[in-house]
Amino acid sequence: MLAKIFNQFNQSAVKLSSNTLILSLRESYIALIPFFIVASVITLLNQWFDIADKGGSHEFLNTFNTLVWALFPLITLLSFSYYLSKNLKLHSIASPVLVMVCFAASTGYIIVNEAGIHIDSKGGVLYSILMPIFCCYILHYFASINALKLVGISTISLFLRKHLNLIFPYLLTSLITLICIPFISDFGNKILAFLMNYHQDASVFDKVSFQMITAHMLWFFGVHGDNTYHILAPAAYTDYQVLEGLSSYNFFSIFVLLGGTGCLWGLIIACYLLKNAEHERSIARISAPLAVFNISEVMIYALPIVFNPYFLIPFLLAPIVNGFIAYQLIDHGLIVLSASENIPWFTPVLLSGWMITHSWTGIALQLVLIALNVAIYYPFVLANQRHNITGKALDMLVKRYSAGHVIEDKAEESFAKSHSEQHIEQYSLKTVTDALNSGALALYYQPKMDPLSQQIVGFEALLRLIKNDGEVMGPWFLATLEQHKLMHVIDSFVIDQLEVDLDNFARQGFHPKISFNISPQNLLADGYKRVVKAFSRFPNQVEVEILESSYIEDFESTIELVKYLNKHNIQCAMDDFGTGYSCLSVLSKLNINTIKLDRSLLPIDGNIKSAVLYQHLAKICDELGFKIVAEGVESKLHEDVVKKAHIQCAQGFLYNKALPYNVAVELLKKQHHR
């Protein structure tokens, strides 16, 4: 029963992590990490060295922190709008501009009166998340309605046409937003007023609990929790005495938030304790120097904790445990405080424990709390590492939807260069970009079978386009992209996605041999470097399929390329042997590992001559030391010919079509348990 519940949770968690909205939030906050860190470091340096108080031209640093956090809602809004627009396939500049104008005009963030223009950060802090969602999804809906488009297919560029067609969707989105937001604001203010009135006579316990849970929940939902809480909550809930001589400021910074919001020292150490956790350890290494000064943004946004269901429980539980234990020990006199002044929040852990108690008891308490935090976080970090989408896999989830945008950007450049050749080529390129923008790229895996044992001996990775309605299509667009020199976008996706999937296969306990195709021009240019970087850590598991034409067109370079790939434990196959050139003399000079016999060589309707030719070709390749793959096996007749040729690896519709990764894994599991 528990296993079933956990599996259901895993499925829901992965689905949540791969949601377009969540992906966009993750990207937007990662993009803001430099801003968070630099702002914090400048504030720290000013505090340490009293730069502003020394006069001169640096007095503005006294208000630097206030200014930065006053601009925080606007900065967050722009970043989130950009990435949400990109992932919804809206224009990533025009859409954020619309969001920013609606935000400034309707939320009360910017106030215009007789005294001038002012910023009220309290009026915009929550809208930095709400406004992009509201505007972008409405704009996305209206942009999909053909009746609202001003320009159809014409001789103007894709770039210009796309922006002209935004005029009516822009107008409708603006009107709806400006009409609806005041009502939403009134409703939100009533809820906030109710919560504050409800807790008007709150005890210290209520205030501590409310601050702890509210701030952390805001962080979890992508809002800068501590800053937002102090903006929204009244002073009675942000500056109060927890115990005699212990302010809420010191209580949280010294005894609760050890390493930053969420008790991140416990999380960092838990990440280091994991085995084979490259992503988690990398983030922990980056976060550790900043956690010394209780700066938590890197871990929260890059791991990520934001909108990650695996971390909700420990992210709330760790500070609650710290707060409860510290309160009880101090209240019962087991920890005696020797200082009542506020100790800066950026004071390192252990040093702050000593400064507040002037004894080893403060340090010991902090160490015990950190150890408890490690124990709380560890099982959840382990579950996140095993089941959640993190690191490169999450990046690929974004990338599989973005190929159309990358190609569309290149298409505008192509339009400018080739306007004189235009109509047919531009129309075909627009058809491709529209198809990619309305779908998602994916890698499917066609099993390679041993015809005698009927066992899976490998896979070929094949590119597919999944339309919004779920229809799976073959890569019909490759010739157009090749013509416009845009195949590097597709090749990049294939290499990165295959690397992710190989890691996923390994996590499931499988190490199948997988072949894949890459554009010959890109491979011979510098694509081989990316191939080596991605796959050299999977020795002899990956095979690059090279067209026979590559040898004919540039024999020496291809020979050197194969030698280089073999040196890095990446094998090579000649794809579609028997089509086009089919020069037998080439076979004696090849240094590849595998020959793939094209389906056109297989006999039709029992053609005896074709069967004899096929068997002799297979025998020649075998005696020359090549492994052989029979392509296009679609009938029992084909299989009989392949068996008589003593070929031990075949693929085709007789066995299986290309399958999604998860289906391919299930086939391997069934084979393993036979």
* pLDDT band of 165, cuts 50, 70, 90: confident
* pLDDT band of 266, cuts 50, 70, 90: very high
Higher pLDDT, 389 or 476: 476
* pLDDT band of 391, cuts 50, 70, 90: low
Report pLDDT for 225.
75
* pLDDT band of 320, cuts 50, 70, 90: very high
- CA–chain centroid gap for 459, Å, is 26
Report pLDDT for 450.
93
Report pLDDT for 422.
43
Please compute the mean of the pLDDT values over residues 258-266 and round it to a whole number.
91
Report pLDDT for 245.
84
Report pLDDT for 423.
39
User: How far is 284 from 269, CA to CA, in rounded Å?
Assistant: 8
* pLDDT band of 498, cuts 50, 70, 90: very high
What CATH superfamily is the domain 440-472+486-672? EAL domain (3.20.20.450)
Report pLDDT for 368.
96
Domain boundaries, the chain: 32-198, 214-392, 440-472+486-672
Higher pLDDT, 491 or 583: 491
pTM of the model: 0.57
- pLDDT tops 80 at residue 390: no
Report pLDDT for 455.
93
Report pLDDT for 457.
93
Instruction: For 65-88, write each residue's pLDDT tens digit.
Output: 677 777 878 888 898 899 888 888
- pLDDT tops 50 at residue 416: no
| Bond from prior residue into 304 cis (ω within 30 degrees of 0) | yes
Q: How many CA atoms lie within 13 A of 517 on its CB side?
A: 20
Helix/strand/coil percentages in the chain, nearest 5: 65, 10, 25
Decide the pairing of beta strands 627-630 and 594-597.
parallel
Instruction: For 555-576, write each residue's pLDDT tens digit.
Output: 788 888 889 999 999 999 988 7
Locate tokens 């009746």: which residue? 147
Tell me the C-alpha to C-alpha distance, in Å, between residue 10 and each of 15, 308, 384, 386, 600.
8, 11, 9, 10, 45
Report pLDDT for 4.
57
Stretch among 40-54, 108-122, 594-608 having the lowest mean pLDDT: 40-54
Report pLDDT for 583.
60
User: How far is 617 from 254, CA to CA, in rounded Å?
Assistant: 76
User: How far is 613 from 466, CA to CA, in rounded Å?
Assistant: 39
User: How far is 142 from 171, CA to CA, in rounded Å?
Assistant: 10
Report pLDDT for 382.
87
Report pLDDT for 492.
85
* pLDDT band of 173, cuts 50, 70, 90: very high
Are 225 and 238 a contacting pair, CB within 8 Å? no
Instruction: For 418-427, write each residue's pLDDT tens digit.
Output: 443 443 344 4
- pLDDT tops 90 at residue 486: no
